[in-house]
A and B are shown apart, each in its own frame.
Chain A
Amino acid sequence: QVQLQESGPGLVKPSQTLSLTCTVSGGSISSGGYYWSWIRQFPGKGLEWIGFHHNSGSTFYKPYLTSRVTISVDTSKNQFSLKLTSMTAADTAVYYCARSNGVYGADFDHWGQGRLVTVSS
């Protein structure tokens, strides 16, 4: 059974860069046609897909976040990472990593437990 676990700082200062890592266990991150996503949940509870990396090597981002976000994969550590620059209070959220497959990654079937990130000075 695949398991995902987020790690990284819980507090980020405004204008800084957020760096989170998702460690995958129970399966290789480089096998299968999977998509490896970052999704966040704002305090008001709405969910937002941030982007994902596909095992083909392609990476896709929410269009309005493209200039700020980078998702990368480290197959040697079975991890993938999120970097989000120029953080503001509006980026305060619980950040989840997730795996999906199917058509364009249609089903987010495995999720991490989430990492609360607060942006505050």
Chain B
Amino acid sequence: QSALTQPASVSGSPGQSVTISCTGTSSDVGTYNLVSWYQQHPGKAPKLMIYEVSKWPSGVSNRFSGSKSGNTASLTISGLQAEDEADYYCCSYEGYSSWVFGGGTKLTVL
């Protein structure tokens, strides 16, 4: 039940695309299509951006997309905007009715 592995930071310029990876194991990300992604601005609660690997909650821009390959899930943000600058966290089901989060990635929009 170790945290999922995310890069500490990523950056991109406005209009560009960035991808944030989330690496787990064959016991969590690799087995279940139950990966979600959260955006967190400073001092705010996390906000659901993607669930079940690639589904969008109502109201979330389709500039955010999710995918998975093997034990690694990814969040891609296209057409970067200044307001996308935030921390991003992945989360995966790990079996036995338990959930595990990633360590978080700070996105900087240059």
Contacts and interface: CB of A to CB of B under 8 A. Distances in A.
Contacts of A47: 38, 46, 89, 91, 101, 104
11 contacts: A47-B101, A63-B1, A63-B96, A96-B45, A103-B93, A104-B34, A104-B93, A106-B51, A107-B51, A108-B91, A114-B45
A106 B52 contact: yes
Interface residues of A, number: 24
Most A C-beta atoms less than 10 A away, residue of B44, B47, B89, B101: B101
A26 interface: no
B104 A45 contact: yes
Nearest to B38: A108
| Top-6 shortest CB links A-B | A107-B51, A60-B97, A111-B45, A47-B101, A49-B99, A106-B34
A48 interface: yes
Interface in B28-60: 34, 36, 38, 44-48, 51-52, 57
A102 B55 CA distance: 12
A57 interface: no
Interface of A: 45-49, 58, 60-64, 96, 102-109, 111-114
Interface string B1-44: 10100000000000000000000000000000010101000001
A106 B36 contact: yes
Contact of B101 (A49, A60, A63, A112): A49
Contacts of A106: 34, 36, 51-52, 93
Nearest to B36: A107
Contact of A46 (B45, B96, B103): B103
